[in-house]
Amino acid sequence: MSQKKPTVIDMFSGCGGLSRGFMDAGYEVLLGVDHEEIALKTFKHNHGDAIAFHGDLFKKETLLDMARLIKTKKVDVIIGGPPCQGFSLTGTRQEDDARNMLFQSMVEAVKLFQPKAFVLENVPGLATLYDGKAKKAILEQFGNLGYTINFQVLYAPDYGVPQIRKRIFFVGLKNGEKFSFPEPTLTPEKYVSCEQAIADLPSLENDLGKEKMEYPTSPLSKYQEYMRKNSSILLNHVGTVHTELVKSVISLVPEGGNHKDLPPGVGDSRKFNEAWTRYHSQKPSKTIDTGHRNHFHYKWNRVPTVRENARLQSFPDDFEFFGNKTQQYRQVGNAVPPLLGFHLAKALKKHLD
């Protein structure tokens, strides 16, 4: 008899980076819940038979809708990354502060579905947010439901993701065990670089590409092989039209450099931390954000495409993004890297039997 796959609900799913990692690790994703229609369209397309539910997690009845949608299926794991604003614990903690509902909805979902485990993901700053009150609330409220909780900040390059990104994960287990976080799979000198991640993609020097294209070369690295293994066609690799002025400014930024490397008076319209940053071919990329104006390809004088950002986030090439380009960039930037989710999901599996 084949072993049944553990089941997952993804709350605040966005396009489903974290749940895609769980899916790749052999879980069955039952449901993704989010308030953004276009991200859910992407989620639905890339998560097998999972249901994509457009739900308002501010509302209590949404939980009942979730239960109705999955019918009698048992939920083994609930995963989610409530937005930071969901922890409005400043001053006197007002139970009825609407934003509290976002974090609360995850607590309520765990209470209702009684999963064997939950995974709450967020920015590392959550540990110190509101003088540590947010962290305390997580430990207290899920602890009260009978879960043993461990938390750790994971650094994406340690797990094969070609991008500087840190995330905090709280993992709660119902059976009283303490969760052991996955050990890093790579040492710093072996981190996957931008070149190893995206060098096989068309340069777009002479055209802007299109939503579906042929690959110009075979994979040039192990990572590219891994990204392309289920894909025969290149998706979402569309360039951005830059003015000659912008291109000329980009051309002055050395590899790995930023606005500080520009001559006086050049590129003054944007002078902040991440402005005019060019990736370094031999290092992981900077943190992918939801915009697409500040970072540039390590070699070509343009912003990365949605597919290049998706690669740097460890989305496999068969993962297709929907919506206009701005929406696609936002979906990629908001996601948890699937490869990070995959290693976490694999480590969690050992605790679920």
Active site residues: 84
Q: What is the DSSP string of 272-284?
A: STTTTEEP-TTSP
Non-local CB neighbours of 190 within 8 Å, separated by 6+ positions: none
Q: Could you give the count of Cα atoms lying within 13 Å of 15 in the half-sphere of its Cβ? A: 27
Helix runs in the chain, H state only: 17-24, 37-46, 61-70, 100-113, 129-143, 194-198, 222-228, 244-251, 306-312, 325-334, 338-349
| AA letter at 327 | Q
**What tokens appear for 73 in the block?**
């299926």
| AA letter at 262 | L
CA 28, CA 46: separation in Å to the nearest integer? Answer: 13
Q: How far is CA 245 from CA 49, 241, 262, 296, in A?
A: 47, 12, 14, 15
CA 270, CA 259: separation in Å to the nearest integer? Answer: 8
- Backbone region of residue 31 per phi and psi (left: phi > 0; alpha: psi in -120 to 50; beta: other values): beta
Helices and strands per DSSP (H, E), number in the chain = 11, 11
| AA letter at 118 | F
Q: How far is CA 5 from CA 25, 30, 148, 174, 345, in A?
A: 10, 11, 23, 18, 12
- What is the three-state SS of 100-111? HHHHHHHHHHHH
Q: Are 200 and 219 in contact (CB under 8 A)?
A: yes
